[in-house]
């Protein structure tokens, strides 16, 4: 006879637990100190993934110009290149060559005066910030060298731009000790005025920076006019002040939509141009490009010739090690889309921007501040700012999932506040229509609240009036007094978010 025995079950093996059964979702996440122990990779993945669910949805982030969608085939290439350090040029010669091809293509797109088979002078960067710093450094060094040979002082370089410049120009100025001379804006004119700019130019000016695709309104500055006026000034004074075009957004729009717009190397004073690959270059965040007109515009002393593991490599970047994925992705886009593909995409963006603009105009509540020619975006201000502002609209739109930022303009137009929607490749017509309808809803809600508040306050005023006065006599307030009280009451309810700088 076989006796059966009760065998105690083995103690619980915690490694079998699904993450949500384990202690890893009970322990607080480390914030200050490196935890002592390891945790399973599934747990690490899950806790981080879950917290990140509370980030905004990148594709509904209508604040940003930066690409938020790419084809799966490209994602595949990106994944495969994640472990390639771009700077190892000797080990990854193909990747290095893809960068060179991109530089050549972009230089040709910008009409750089190079021969058919000549290599362009340019480099891939992490973004337009790095690109602008490199371009600025080249201008600074060229100017310093010139002043030294002339025996003139070279300790006070300056750069002339509009007050609408993106913050990276201010960074360049502050970190590289260059004075920033800003041309102020005015109501109705939100870009740099070429005449005022040229008036500010002096012997210490290392360059004038024009923007193709102003951050705030998407407008293109008149680079051609700037070139003409500056050529004249240079002739009069004997100076040699050049132009840099910050085409961060516009560089991949103008060549496809506005072929006749002369803004690039076709203008003789334009010596360098930067463009963001990760804006309308249609690549994820992390790639920019700067192209110089010719070798002479990039002082050789700034270029490092390093022996990178066997071969001489000329490099001019601020960053060193970085991923290769975005460079490969940029090349993918160039050969996948070609000229016609980019053109089609940007045309679609412009169409959808128009749908949005017309929808907003139809509400009757907004003034459109952006122009139709420029980067596909819609910047709009409230006609009536008495009861609520664009900041309130921006906040309320978040409930629907939309991120639409509100800004005040820089000096001297700070009293103007706008909402800005950037139309990217992945913002389809149906999303545009949905946004219009949600903006409608928000505005209606805010209007309702105003009416309700007016009623409440007016009622309170009446009650106070009837109960006030020592002799019990009625106190009547004028309509204006009542309106003022309502506005004060309302403004107290709604919080105001003032802003001073924008990106």
CA atoms within 13 A on the CB side of 102: 29
Residues 455-474 that bind another protein (CB under 8 A): none
Tokens of 470: 């020592």
Residue 162, H or E segment: strand 158-162
Q: Which position among 320, 385, 460, 476 is part of the footprint of another protein (CB under 8 A)?
A: 320
Residue 109 binds another protein, judged by CB under 8 A: yes
> What is the closest distance, in whole angstroms, from the C-beta atom of residue 484 to another protein in the complex?
29
Binders of another protein: how many residues, by CB under 8 A?
122
- Cβ neighbors of 281 (< 8 A, separation 6 or more) are 67, 251, 252, 275, 287, 289, 330, 333
**301 binds another protein, rule: CB under 8 A:** yes
Q: Which residue in 17, 68, 186, 228 binds another protein (CB under 8 A)?
A: 68
CB 264 within 8 A of CB 281: no
Residue 92 in the binding site for another protein (CB under 8 A):
yes
**In terms of CB distance, is 19 or 231 closer to another protein?**
19
Cβ atoms of 494 and 157 closer than 8 Å: no
Which residue in 18, 21, 167, 456 binds another protein (CB under 8 A)? 167
Q: How far is the CB of 130 from another protein (least distance, A)?
A: 6
Three-class secondary structure assignment of 451-486: HHHHHHHHHHHHHHHHHCCCCCCCCCCCHHHHHHHH
Does position 58 interact with another protein (CB under 8 A)? The reply is yes
CA distances from 409 to 174, 190, 220, 503 (A): 22, 8, 17, 11
Angle (CA) 234-238-247 rounded to 5° is 30
Task: State whether residue 239 is helix, strand or coil.
Answer: coil
Based on the shown chain and the rule CB under 8 A, indicate whether residue 128 belongs to the binding site for another protein: yes
Report the site for another protein in 185-214 (rule: CB under 8 A).
none
User: Which of 14, 21, 199, 302 is close enough to bind another protein by CB under 8 A?
Assistant: 302
Strand partners of residue 311: 308
Judged by CB under 8 A, the residue of 14, 152, 199, 335 near another protein is 335
Nearer to another protein, 45 or 473 (CB): 45
Q: How far is the CB of 306 from another protein (least distance, A)?
A: 5
Query: Is residue 268 part of the contact set for another protein (CB under 8 A)?
Result: no
The residue within the footprint of another protein, chosen from 3, 16, 54, 493 (CB under 8 A), is 54
Nearer to another protein, 58 or 361 (CB): 58
Residues in 418-457 at the binding interface with another protein, rule: CB under 8 A? none
| 340 contributes a contact to another protein by CB under 8 A | yes
Strand partners, 257: none
21 near another protein, judged by CB under 8 A: no
Regarding 324 and contact with another protein (CB under 8 A), the answer is yes
Residues 363-382 that bind another protein (CB under 8 A): none
Is the distance from CB of 178 to CB of 140 less than 8 angstroms? yes
CB nearer to another protein: pick between 68 and 234: 68
Give yes or no for residue 330 binding another protein (CB under 8 A).
no
List CB contacts of 181: < 8 A, sequence separation 6 or more.
Answer: 158, 159, 160, 161, 200, 205
Closest CA to 282 of 254, 257, 259, 253: 253
């Amino acid at each position: 006879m076989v006796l059966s025995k009760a065998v105690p079950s083995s103690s619980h093996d915690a490694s079998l637990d699904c993450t949500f059964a384990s202690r890893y979702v009970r322990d607080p996440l480390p914030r200050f100190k490196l935890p002592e122990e390891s945790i399973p990779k599934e747990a690490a993945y899950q806790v981080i993934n879950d917290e990140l669910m509370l980030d905004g949805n990148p594709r509904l982030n209508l604040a940003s110009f930066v690409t938020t969608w790419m084809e799966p085939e490209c994602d595949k290439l990106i994944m495969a290149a994640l472990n390639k350090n771009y700077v190892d040029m000797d080990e990854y010669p193909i990747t290095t060559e893809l960068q060179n091809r991109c530089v050549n293509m972009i230089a040709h797109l910008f009409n750089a005066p190079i021969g058919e088979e000549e290599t362009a002078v340019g480099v891939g960067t992490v973004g337009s910030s790095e690109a602008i710093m490199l371009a600025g450094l080249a201008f600074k060094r060229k100017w310093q060298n010139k002043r030294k040979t002339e025996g003139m002082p070279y300790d006070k370089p300056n750069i002339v731009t509009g007050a609408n410049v993106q913050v990276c120009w201010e960074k360049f100025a502050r970190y590289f000790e260059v004075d920033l001379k800003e041309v102020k804006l005015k109501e109705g004119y939100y870009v740099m005025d070429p005449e005022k700019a040229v008036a500010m130019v002096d012997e210490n000016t290392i360059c004038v920076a024009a923007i193709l695709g102003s951050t705030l309104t998407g407008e293109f500055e008149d680079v051609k006019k700037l070139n003409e006026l500056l050529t004249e000034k240079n002739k009069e004074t004997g100076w040699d002040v050049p132009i840099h075009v910050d085409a961060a957004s516009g560089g991949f729009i103008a060549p496809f939509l506005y072929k006749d717009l002369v803004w690039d190397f076709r203008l003789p004073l334009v010596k360098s141009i930067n463009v963001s690959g990760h804006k309308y270059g249609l690549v994820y965040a992390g790639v920019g490009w700067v192209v110089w007109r010719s070798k002479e515009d990039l002082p050789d002393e700034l270029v490092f010739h390093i022996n990178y593991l066997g071969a001489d490599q000329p490099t001019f970047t601020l960053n060193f090690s970085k991923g290769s994925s975005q460079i490969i992705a940029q090349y993918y886009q160039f050969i996948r889309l070609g000229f016609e593909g980019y053109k089609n995409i940007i045309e679609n963006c412009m169409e959808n921007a128009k749908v949005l603009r017309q929808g907003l105009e139809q509400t009757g509540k907004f003034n459109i501040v952006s122009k139709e020619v420029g980067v596909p975006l819609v910047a709009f201000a409230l006609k009536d700012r008495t009861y609520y502002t664009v900041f309130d609209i921006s906040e309320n739109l978040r409930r629907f999932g939309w991120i639409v930022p509100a800004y005040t303009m820089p000096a001297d137009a700070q009293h103007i506040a706008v909402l800005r929607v950037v139309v990217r490749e992945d913002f389809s017509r149906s999303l545009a229509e949905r946004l219009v309808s949600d903006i409608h809803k928000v505005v209606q809600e805010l209007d309702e609240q105003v009416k309700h508040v007016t009623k409440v306050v007016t009622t309170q005023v009446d009650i106070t009036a009837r109960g006030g006065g020592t002799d019990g006599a009625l106190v009547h307030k004028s309509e204006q007094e009542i309106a003022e009280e309502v506005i004060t009451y309302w403004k107290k309810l709604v919080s105001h978010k003032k802003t001073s700088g924008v990106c």
